[in-house]
Amino acid sequence: MDEAKRSLSRRDFLTRAGLFAAGTAAAAAGASGVPAAAAYADERIGNWAADGSAEVTVPESAETNASGLYGMYREHNAAAFPADDATPIPPRAVPEAWDWECDIVVVGAGGGGLNAAARAAELGAQVICVEALGLHGGNAQSAGMCGILGGMSMQEEKKFAFPSYPFDAQALTDWAMDEYHYAADPKLIYKIAEQGGKSLDWMADCGVQWRLGEVPVYVAPKNSTLDHHVLKMKDATDAMFAYGQRKGVEYHFQCPAAALVRDDAGRIVGLVAKEDFEHERYIHARQAVILTAGGFCNNKALLERYIPTAAMGCASSYLVGGETGECFRMGLGVGADVSGFNSSASFDGGVDWQAEGGQWARFLYDGMTQLSRQPWLTIDRCGNRLRYMDSRVGEDGANAIYALGDLATIQMTPPGHRSYIIFDSHYEDHLAGYAQEHCRKLITPDLEQIDKVPEHYRDWHHGVQDALDADVLKERATLEELEADLGLAEGVLTRAVADWNETCARGTDDFMYPVPDEWLHPIVDPPFYGCRIGGNLYGTKAGLLINDQMQVVGTDGLVIPGLYAGWHTAGGACGENSYIGDPILGSLMGDVGLAFCGGYLCGTSAVENERGE
């Protein structure tokens, strides 16, 4: 294919990063006069030259399809990642003079950081919060729903708790520990179970509106007949930012943390941050430093080392803000231990852009992702059909959002860690009949999440066209060509399509996990389309080891004095070796809920433990 199509320019990336920011930046007005896209300006973006002229060379699909030693590992294109460095960041020594003074420094103003800063300030600490982007909210502002299994006052109103009402944190912990195969710290899980509801109630007291009209907002457990409701988490992060401002938190935007400061006794006493990305400021934290700067979805080397299943099985990430893992590396640099090894959370539809020279970090709503999540014929590289998990809400009202996580696992685990979707020229005719829910819905002007969609993608065809242009979605005149260019062995795809067409002609699916008859569309008319799919990574669950006081613990088993971490810079919220962050979308509290809870816990513990009374 045309080499030019194999690359995206730096300018493209900046434009897209800017779109992310623009879609969410409204609330930043006043917080910073500088466009948020500038936050990316100095970051390394793959191997691309600063002038945007360089091309990324990527191997042909066939060469990378089943790559690596023992056929187990699927190589990623490092140039597509925003970061590729797992080395610990060493601490700095105490300077002769500090630039800024406070009690507590919070790193990151996303889901976790906003809560940590506001909570610590509310409890009387003088707080500085440094944020790399030009706006608050992090990835959390893009989230749609907050999950919790009980213990929140609104759930009490409905007499809802899991596993049974009345709410019992011990019973919830016991259930979760079983789900996590006992590979977690029970005291930490208990803390989440016990404090989760309280943290969300506290946010309500701070001004967060958890209701849509009269309807409380939470995600119910699998097979429950309670539905979830979509709420804009941006409203929640805006409210927490406003509350923090009222409590006197001093926010510094476009001021990324660069290193911890450690004194001779081994205590963390401050942070070095780069004001305007340039000028190093030594910030004295008289009581504590709290790391709440997200995880490392966008750092290839960290994924490979700490979450090999995500490195192998995920094809893209949809956290476009940050997630390069510097704060995790800072923790490693002061001797922190790691927990939650090999645990992450993904949804389905990780389109393999990076294998074709595109970006690893993609917007969740880009049209191509939604197209890839429909029930097309899906096979592994041996030609076996793969099961589809239907996300339509069941007749009993059962919540079907779990289908997105379960399908991700199916797509991440076949040989070679990719699945392959195939359809023909009539694909657009079938979409309405699939009626998939949640973020599988095609992008339309009335989509409830439309304000999260960058303008370019508000017509879903644009994202699909981008994928065709990049040859990520392959359009070929014959199935044989498609087979070869997807890197499949001769006969694998043609046989699978022939079998599928026979099934369609019969009108009933005899597969072990049959799809409804009305979804049986033969693949006969060219052009033919195919795409490689893996998981769509949305959260790393490996991170710094913390105890139930949110204190970071070293590899010597001792607390590192003065250092706290919340999710997702911390790990361990769903044990080890969890593919999908079970049981509910990442942890007991989903993903964004966990970050909110972790920030609240960090702010509370740091003040209570360190104020020296």
Out of 18, 46, 111, 244, name the contact with ligand FAD by CB under 6 A. 111
Site for ligand FAD (CB under 6 A): which residue of 19, 56, 107, 545?
107
Of the candidate spans 171-179, 315-323, 348-356, 497-505, the one that interacts with ligand FAD by CB under 6 A turns out to be 315-323
Work out the angle at residue 346's Cα, subtended by the Cα atoms of residues 27 and 465, and round it to the nearest 5 degrees. Answer: 75
Give the other-Cβ count within 10 Å of 597's Cβ: 31
**Which H/E stretch holds residue 203?**
helix 186-206
Type of residue numbered 243? Y
The partner residues of 107 in beta bridges, in order of sequence, read: 130, 291
Q: Look up residue 192 and give its two tokens.
A: 């989440």
Q: Does 130 bind ligand FAD (CB under 6 A)?
A: yes
Interface pick for ligand FAD out of 145, 154, 314, 553 (rule CB under 6 A): 145
Of these, 590, 597, 601, 603, which contacts ligand FAD (CB under 6 A)?
A: 590
575 binds ligand FAD (CB under 6 A): no
Contact between 591 and ligand FAD by CB under 6 A: the answer reads: yes
| Site track for ligand FAD across 219-258, x = CB under 6 A | -------------------------------------xx-
Q: Rounded to an integer, what distance in angstroms lies between the CA atom of residue 9 and that of residue 55?
A: 8
- Say which amino acid occupies 263: D
Classify 65 as helix, strand or coil.
coil
Is the Cβ of residue 312 or residue 565 nearer to ligand FAD in the bound state? 565
Contact between 535 and ligand FAD (CB under 6 A)? no
Stretch that binds ligand FAD, among 187-195, 429-437, 547-555, 586-594 (CB under 6 A): 586-594
CB nearer to ligand FAD: pick between 169 and 364:
364
The 3-state DSSP class for residue 407 equals helix
DSSP string for 391-406: -SPPTT----THHHHH
Tell me the C-alpha distance between 492 and 360, whole Å.
28
| Residue 6 · residue 58 · CB < 8 Å | yes
Q: Would you count residue 335 as binding ligand FAD (CB under 6 A)?
A: no
Distance CA 129, CA 152 (A): 28
Nearer residue to ligand FAD within complex by CB, 521 or 541: 541
Q: Say which residues have a Cβ less than 8 Å from residue 450's Cβ, sequence separation at least 6.
A: 443, 444, 458
Compute the least distance from the CB of residue 382 to ligand FAD, in Å: 33
- Please tell me whether residue 138 binds ligand FAD under the rule CB under 6 A: yes
- Does the protein bind ligand FAD through residue 110 (CB under 6 A)? yes
User: For ligand FAD, which residue of 83, 143, 152, 307 counts as binding (CB under 6 A)?
Assistant: 143
Contact 187, 548 (CB under 8 A): yes
Interatomic CA distance for residues 4 and 21, integer angstroms: 27
The candidate with the shortest Cα–Cα distance to 552, out of 217, 314, 291, 234, is 291
**Residue 585 Cβ, how far from ligand FAD at the closest point, in Å?**
6
Residue whose CB is less far from ligand FAD, 451 or 518: 451
| Shortest Å distance, C-beta 485 to ligand FAD | 30
Going by C-alpha positions, the residue among 279, 274, 345 that lies closest to residue 309 is: 345
Q: Quote the least distance from Cβ 90 to ligand FAD, whole Å.
A: 15
* Chain residues in the site for ligand FAD (CB under 6 A): 107-113, 130-133, 138-140, 142-145, 147, 256-257, 292-294, 318-319, 321-322, 326-327, 364, 452, 538-539, 567-568, 585-586, 590-593, 595
